[in-house]
């Protein structure tokens, strides 16, 4: 039997997820028809694709919404530039960049975008959707093995936003865009092909934050108002 499923992060095609949360509204009578021990994750894992694993299943209150009850999401983007020794095992999980990236300059650019802002310049337009987001973390690190990781946290993200944000600071590192140019792009909402929406394969959903259970319903109502309105005012 098919059931409607709501997921916390509606990732673009090609994006990975180390942590994903979903919920299904299943009437108790229907649940009993599914068979013995319907909430057994081990059993269900034998029935799904090998590139997916269910870590836990448990009942939840009816006021919980996997997407709208969430208060934050953390993603990580991984890049392999010439300072990282080529590793074929990373092909699916990291963007290959042919020029050495300036991590310090990328961080300077990233800091200008942190905060409650209108990210229209970084989002694929969708009718009736707000592009105002609270970006709380945008940090670039070079790991000991040379890989570059970019951690990004916000209350939510609009379509293509993370890949565009990362593309913009890569453009700054490559000298195609200055930090001040980037500030102007964010303020005007016009990117004018100054940077690309980069490949999805380097991106992974790392974690989702939720409030205390008593706040599920309140948070869901607030997020629906914020995300599903054409009025971008806060």
Q: Hey, which residues are catalytic here?
A: 12
Average pLDDT of span 58-71? 90
**199 has pLDDT over 80:** yes
- The share of the chain scoring above pLDDT 70, in percent, equals 91
- Give tens-digit pLDDT for 124-147: 878 777 899 999 999 999 999 999
Q: Is 48 helix (H, G, I), strand (E, B) or coil?
A: coil
**192 has pLDDT over 90:** no
Average pLDDT of span 85-110? 94
Angle between helices 179-188 and 103-111 (to 10 degrees): 30
User: For the chain, which domains are there?
Assistant: 5-68+213-227 (no CATH), 72-206 (3.30.70.660)
**39 has pLDDT over 90:** no
Helix ranges restricted to H, the chain: 28-33, 41-45, 103-111, 161-173, 179-188, 216-227
Model pTM? 0.87
Average pLDDT of span 39-49? 81
Average pLDDT of span 55-73? 90
């Amino acid at each position: 039997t098919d059931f409607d499923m709501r997921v916390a992060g509606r990732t673009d095609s090609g994006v990975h997820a180390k942590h994903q949360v979903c919920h299904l509204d299943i009437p108790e009578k229907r649940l009993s028809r599914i068979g013995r021990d319907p909430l057994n994750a081990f059993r269900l894992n034998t029935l799904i694709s090998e590139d997916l694993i269910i870590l836990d299943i448990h009942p939840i209150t009816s006021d919980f919404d996997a997407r709208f009850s969430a208060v934050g999401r953390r993603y990580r983007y991984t890049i392999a530039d010439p300072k990282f020794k080529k590793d074929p095992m990373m092909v699916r999980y990291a963007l290959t960049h042919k020029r050495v990236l300036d991590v310090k300059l990328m961080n300077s650019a990233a800091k200008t975008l942190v905060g409650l802002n209108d990210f229209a310049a970084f989002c694929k337009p969708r009718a009736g959707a707000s592009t105002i987001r609270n970006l709380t973390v945008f940090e670039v690190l070079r790991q000991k093995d040379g890989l570059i990781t970019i951690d990004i946290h916000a209350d939510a993200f609009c379509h293509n936003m993370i890949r565009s944000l990362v593309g913009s600071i890569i453009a700054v590192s490559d000298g195609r865009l200055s930090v001040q140019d980037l500030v102007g792009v964010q303020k005007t909402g016009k990117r004018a092909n100054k940077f690309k929406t980069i490949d999805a394969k380097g991106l992974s959903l790392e974690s989702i934050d939720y409030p205390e259970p008593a706040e599920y319903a309140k948070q869901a109502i607030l997020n629906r108002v914020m995300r599903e309105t054409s009025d971008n005012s806060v």
